[in-house]
Homo-oligomer: A and B are copies of this chain.
Amino acid sequence: MAAWGERLAGVRGVLLDISGVLYDGGEDGGSPIPGSVEAVARLKRSRLKVRFCTNESQKSRGNLVGLLRRLGFDISEGEVTAPAPAASLILKERGLRPHLLVHDGVRSEFDQNDMSNPNCVVIADAGEAFSYQNMNKAFQVLMELENPVLISLGKGRYYKETSGLMLDVGAYTKALEYACGIEAEVVGKPSPEYFRSALKEMAVEAHEAVMIGDDIVGDVGGAQRCGMRALQVRTGKFSLANTSGEAVAR
């Protein structure tokens, strides 16, 4: 325990990944990971600042928070950093009009964006909406642009649901990158902008913060590159094979 005390000396803020750390999603809504509801409650009773940092891009923040509250978590929308609202702001700042390749559950996050005559594609974890037809439409939109812009909400390889491992947005982003000969811009973990914006919202410096996640690249690697400390949990998509750095992102 002395070792833990040293490792966490000076920590003022805790960033918690959601999927695989607080709960495993699933068609039935998913289920909390044992002990996590109480762990969040204890953190919130402590002197530490807490922020929920997710790459969830199938659900709007409102839907995600509603689900987590029903599972017993003490969480509110204002405490969540998620890629879709961040992407919506970036699109407006840059005058980008998105063609959306996303799940219906997250579409409302883009209500303020102009969708006419698209000049970029936004790809998120679309799940079942990753049909050939929808992928091909996004591909064709990109191929018709002089300077194709592809914005990817995260670059996760897969995540865990109660029914098993599920392909994440990163795999489909790679498909479009290869087909179009372009590189996507990532909004979400592990991009440094994402972690910096979460730290700013907590008013905590990087060296005072610890990221807790199940993903060795998206959570642990990304946070460490920003000067934060990081802990990998052994739940979610964690497996011994992943400790070598083969896992990625949600």
Contacts and interface: CB of A to CB of B under 8 A. Distances in A.
Residue among A128, A164, A167, A177 with most chain B CB within 10 A = A167
A4 interface: no
A205 B14 CA distance: 67
Given A175-B172, A179-B157, A167 B246 contact: no
Contacts of A133: 128
A164 B164 CA distance: 36
Contact of A132 (B127, B165, B170): B127
Contacts of A172: 175
A246 B174 contact: no
Interface residues of A, number: 32
Contacts of A167: 132, 135-136, 139, 175, 179
Count identical subunits in the complex: 2
A123 to B, nearest CB: 12
Contacts of A180: 157
Contacts of A168: 179
Interface string A11-42: 00000000000000000000000000000000
A238 interface: no
Contacts of A48: none
Task: Please list the 10 inter-chain residue pairs (A to B) with the smallest Cβ-Cβ separation, ordered nearest first.
Answer: A171-B175, A171-B179, A174-B178, A175-B175, A130-B132, A157-B179, A174-B174, A181-B246, A128-B132, A136-B167
Given A128-B131, A157-B178, A170-B179, 7 more contacts: A127-B132, A129-B132, A130-B135, A136-B167, A140-B165, A143-B158, A171-B179
